[in-house]
Amino acid sequence: MKFSNGQWLSKELVGCFSPAHVYDADVRADRVRLLCPTSRINHRGDTLGGINLTLELSAPMSGVIRVRVTHHAGLADRGPHFELSLPEHSAFDSVADGETIVARTGELEVRVNKNNASMAFYHGDRRLTGSGDRDIAYIKTNWTGLAYDRGPEDAYMRGQLDLTVGELIYGLGERFGAFVKNGQSVDVYNEDGGTSTEQSYKNIPLYLSNRGYGVFVNHSERVSFEVGSDMVSKVGFSVEGESIEYFIIDGPTMKDVLRRYTDMTGKPALPAAWTFGLWLSTSFTTDYDEETVNKFVDGMFNRGIPLSVFHFDCFWMRGFHWSDFTWDPDMFPDPKGMLARLKAKGLKICVWINSYVGQESCLFEEGKRNGYFLKRANGDVWQWDMWQPGLAIVDFTNPEARAWYQSKLEALIDMGVDCFKTDFGERIPTDCVYFDGSDPKKMHNYYAYLYNKTVWEVLQKRKGGEAVLFARSATAGGQKFPVHWGGDCYSTYEAMQETLRGGLSLTSSGFGFWSHDIGGFERTSTADVYKRWCAFGLLSSHSRLHGSGSYRVPWLYGEDAADVLRSFVQLKASLMPYLYTQAARTHETGVPMMRAMAIEFMDDRNCGYLCNQYMLGDSLLVAPIFNDKSIAEYYLPDGVWTNVQTGERKVGGKWYKEEMDYFHIPLFAREGSIVAFGAHNDRPVYDYADGARYMVYALPVGQTAETTVVDKDAKLAASLTVTHTAEGYAVRYEGDKPCTVVLNGAGEGGKDIEAVFDKAGEALVRA
């Protein structure tokens, strides 16, 4: 929210009260508490009246400093609060109290100038950011003087941090506009607005700076960010109320920031290996029954297209009855038998659900009678006609309502369902009453967390490590319940591009795994767009064919589209030893599997604004094609890059433009990397180490490359170390399955050299 009128003034009726100096300091190892009047205290009479702010600093974990600013501390705290994992006892590594208070945790240091209450944050000797005059502020939007103050009803707290020359800001959740957030006003507030506007389904109050730090505003309600858009050299953030809390998260890299952030808010769970295969949906408003479903499934298999998951969207239930969790008897008279027949073909089953119960649902009266829905202030059920006529919304703060909802899902699991698409959860009212008394404004975003957590818990209970969602809404911490997809996009190149921007923005906000609707959701794409989207979709962490009013099976776009889809499904399946190992690292570290170039190459200024390409794990670069001219345009950072599909090498540090057919996409392996390919391309789950081909790409002399491969249970299955010496390539393989090590382009005339291992061993391979 913008409170200023230019550099010097506030907007009309806005009162802005910032710390004038530190009047009193209580400095301890576990916290620093500063009393900061907003007018300078020159004599004892100045203490009679006026606005004071209390500034508290603490170190909740190494490399993280918590800042909390409070005006009136007497307000009831009704929650909710993000579930943070923080040590019970923490303290600064060192604290010094002089004219400048200095507190340090790890390599992160805060320096507070007592004379003006300004703060500066350092990594070692390098200044990261800070706040100065008027940056921290208690703000009243209808200020008429102390004697006429209305209390918290028009109160906001604001923080501002420096934005220096060349500094770029990323994150703030799923955002479909410009990838770099500089110059933007961003409200972190979940809304169902599609992918073509500033609205977003997944809002995360975290931003990353290319200077190697992050800021997490620890508020579940609407947080308004002004990223160089109010004061051009500041990032501002504000919340309603009488206090604000935020964390400064040290790097020194953006990857390190994400590691620390997910240490606090939770690591992404590791999706089961089968989830990385192709998902096929019935689409949204299409007509379908068991015959239609089998026609689609058999059509895929008959064309040699590996399929892992079949998804039933909304109309597996009767219209107006969402959600009653009951199969439409006219379309699916034998649902249990149907699911058994589909599973006999090797498929997993996903069904669509949401947290709304329409008035025609058989569950409505039960939920109303037992108090399982959100209520109005007078005790009535909160209802409206948006989406489903007369719908009510399940109150997940009520333990009995959660158990009731989960029991309906358990019945579906018993029937043969493996996972759920948790749709919606964004249009949550703020004029309602929750069972546990939570503040409805703070619950608006947080509702998505409780909704997905409720479903995740029942899947974890019944499916163990195979629990997986296909979720649309989220807030901070939601990354613990993967997978998330990008929402309702149009079927155009522009929508395909904005979808990728949204995904990279989300993964820059702590989310490890991500998907989208291949071919687009709204309307029907051209065959050209569909085929290009297939390549992009199968080189995302998770891959789903889904649409709205038309089916997304490839042959409806031409048999050549089926050929294109098959080739990329097979490519992804063959890459599973590499991909699943990368997924396990994402689970362990919190560094996203699909990541922006800026995160991987912080020091390459050409990567700062790149949002049309990405890294898929540590070693592979992907650049989707976004035009109907078959022209690929992409940038390769410094080093030698190898085209995985053709073996062609290109020198990095420059842009390339070339024509590619539908079976090819810019897919490059990084210099000195090892990418493990599997022995199978017809399914995502197999023994990844057995018969693997380890491709060693452009390893410079004097350097060593290492890689590991995990099995489908994410346990270490094999490891490989290759050192390029003056004598040749020293290769050490550790594993109990045969494999082939391929030194890509290392032989005479650029030919590959292969070394075959029947078991663990070492070899010197001469070029």
pLDDT 10s digits, 277-328: 999 999 999 999 999 999 999 999 999 999 999 999 999 999 999 999 999 9
User: With 0-12 CB in 10 A as exposed, 13-18 as middle and 19+ as buried, what is 196?
Assistant: middle
169-171: strand order across its sheet = 24-27, 32-37, 52-61, 64-70, 243-250, 213-217, 206-209, 169-171
Tell me the two tokens of residue 122: 């350092």
pLDDT band at 348 (very low <50, low <70, confident <90, very high): very high
Strands 620-622 and 692-697: unpaired
* Residues 26, 20: Cα–Cα separation, whole Å: 17
Distance of CA 666 to the CA centre of its chain: 24
506-515 pLDDT, tens digit each = 999 999 999 9
Can you read off the two tokens belonging to residue 43? 């004599």
Q: What angle do CA 333, 336, 341 make, to 5 degrees?
A: 100
Q: Which helix (H) or strand (E) holds 309?
A: strand 309-312
Going by pLDDT thresholds of 50, 70 and 90, the confidence category of residue 705 is: very high
Go through 641-666 and write b for each residue having 16 or more CB atoms within 10 A of its CB, e for each that does not.
bbebeeeebbebeeebeeebebebbb
- For residue 762, count other CB atoms closer than 10 A to its CB: 11
Q: Amino acid identity, residue 249?
A: I
Report pLDDT for 88.
Answer: 83
In the set 250, 313, 488, 711, the catalytic residue is 488
To the nearest 10 degrees (0 to 180), the angle between helices 493-507 and 527-538 is 20
186-230 pLDDT, tens digit each = 999 999 999 999 999 999 999 999 999 999 999 999 999 999 999
Give mean pLDDT, residues 157-178. Answer: 98
Pairing of strands 309-312, 348-353: parallel
242: annotated active-site residue: no
Structural domains for the chain: 4-72+92-144+151-265 (2.60.40.1760), 273-574 (3.20.20.80), 594-669 (2.60.40.1180), 674-765 (2.60.40.1180)
- Position 150 scores a pLDDT of 86
> What is the pLDDT averaged over residues 69-82?
96
Distances (CA, A) of 102 to 115, 255, 564: 14, 26, 60
Residue with tokens 């109160």: 155
Annotated active-site residue 711? The verdict is: no
d(CA 578, CA 674): 9
DSSP 457: H
Nearest to 280 by CA among 509, 562, 626: 562
Average pLDDT taken over every residue of the chain: 97
Q: Which of 192, 221, 313, 426 is catalytic?
A: 426
Euclidean distance between CA atoms 43 and 41, whole angstroms: 6
Q: What is the pLDDT of residue 89?
A: 83
Q: What is the mean pLDDT of residues 9-25?
A: 96
147-151-155-161 Cα dihedral, nearest 10 degrees: 80
Asked if residue 736 has pLDDT above 90, the reply is yes
Question: How far apart (Å, rounded) are the C-alpha atoms in residues 763 and 406?
Answer: 56
Judge whether 36 and 25 are in contact, CB under 8 Å. Answer: no
Edge to edge, the sheet with strand 753-757 lists 673-677, 692-697, 739-744, 753-757
Cα angle 661-662-664, degrees, rounded to a multiple of 5? 75
Q: Is 426 a known active-site residue? A: yes
Reduced to 3 states, what is the DSSP secondary structure of residue 371?
coil
Kindly name the residue from 192, 242, 245, 423 that is annotated as catalytic. 423
483 preceded by cis ω (within 30°)? Answer: yes
